[in-house]
Amino acid sequence: MNVDYLRVSVTDGCNLRCIYCNPFGDHGFGESAEILSFDEIHRVVRLCAECGIRKVRLTGGEPLMRRGITGLVRRLAGTSGVDDLSLTTNGMLLGRMAAELKEAGLTRVNISLDAVDEQCYRRMTGFDALSQVLAGMHKALEVGLTPVRLNCVVMREHNLSQVVGLARMTLQVPVSVRFIEYCPTSRVTGPASDYVPNSEVRRTIESQLGRLSAAVVPNAGGPAVYFKADGAAGAIGFISGRSSVFCRQCSRLRLTSDGKIKPCLHSDRHYDVKALLRGNAGDDGVRELIRTILQEKSRYTRLNSTAEDFLMQNIGG
């Protein structure tokens, strides 16, 4: 597998408290000295690009909370070798920032959206922000941050009732709504019994919208499998990380906000690139570490060590 995709967490701070991520908000912001500076992030991305990384996605926490994020987007978009620069957001700040992000060189956005009902959205996230998120979605479409993808983590006791409403959005709006199988990552994020296989989600949608047909969508590289309802403007995707295994197809690395590179989300294995950056290592030393990580990622289709308890907010999706 060609490993060409880097996800970069620019902050572990977030303005929501999603129940599958960090419901109690016990890690709102990391200590500023521990978070990578924009100069450090840019240096890592530049050196990763020199080693073959072509796609970069900015994540958090909530990346739009990081002051000066548009400047970082501009720097990364101008980095030689970076062909695709995207961002994952909860959408709360997107409406007022979409135009400047597009102008700075951002290509597209993914938006977390777990409900279309206001009360359910509040229960899932802890805040009344659904209208802001939907406004951000429409603004992203307006300025051309496309394709716009909406990500929904499905939990049986919380938002299974929302999947048809979310899928129905694709009938009129040119977005991809993607349903992600819930996988508990921490003792505080809900029981394993909240898991719903995507086969059940699909049956639920088809019972209301009719049979879904396989679809091809732009920039679809990744684990999602896409379908469309008859005559729909958008698409419906399924990311089935528990009912299926796509380790062999995984092409991504993750850079955490505190400077660790993880070859695998669900592994304890990580490499402390910040120690090199702040230890005055030259570019050759950092490149050597990156190449070691890329070789490991390419060699192993499934890493042996499993991370038993972590918050997605600290790692960046």
The helix, strand and coil proportions of the chain, stated in percent and rounded to the nearest 5, come to: 35, 15, 50
Which 3 state secondary structure label does DSSP give 109?
A: strand
Structural domains of the chain, count: 1
Walk along the chain (317 residues) and give the pLDDT tens digit of each residue.
689 999 999 999 999 999 998 877 755 555 577 999 999 999 999 999 999 999 999 999 999 999 999 999 999 999 999 999 999 999 999 999 999 999 999 999 999 999 999 999 999 999 999 999 999 999 999 999 999 999 999 999 999 999 999 999 999 999 999 999 998 765 555 677 789 999 999 999 999 999 999 998 887 767 899 999 999 999 999 999 877 766 767 889 999 999 999 998 767 789 999 999 999 999 999 999 999 999 988 776 554 444 455 455 455 55
- Burial of residue 123 (CB within 10 Å: 0-12, 13-18, 19+) is middle
What CATH number does the domain containing 296 carry?
Answer: 3.20.20.70
DSSP 183: -
Q: How far apart are CA 167 and CA 107, in angstroms?
A: 24
Strand order in the sheet with 176-181: 213-214, 225-228, 235-239, 176-181, 149-154, 108-112, 84-89, 55-59, 5-9, 252-255, 260-262, 271-272
- Burial of residue 77 (CB within 10 Å: 0-12, 13-18, 19+) is middle
Q: How far apart are CA 153 and CA 312, in angstroms?
A: 12
**Residue span of the structural domain in which 135 resides:** 5-315
- Give the CA angle between residues 142, 146, 151 to the nearest 5°: 105
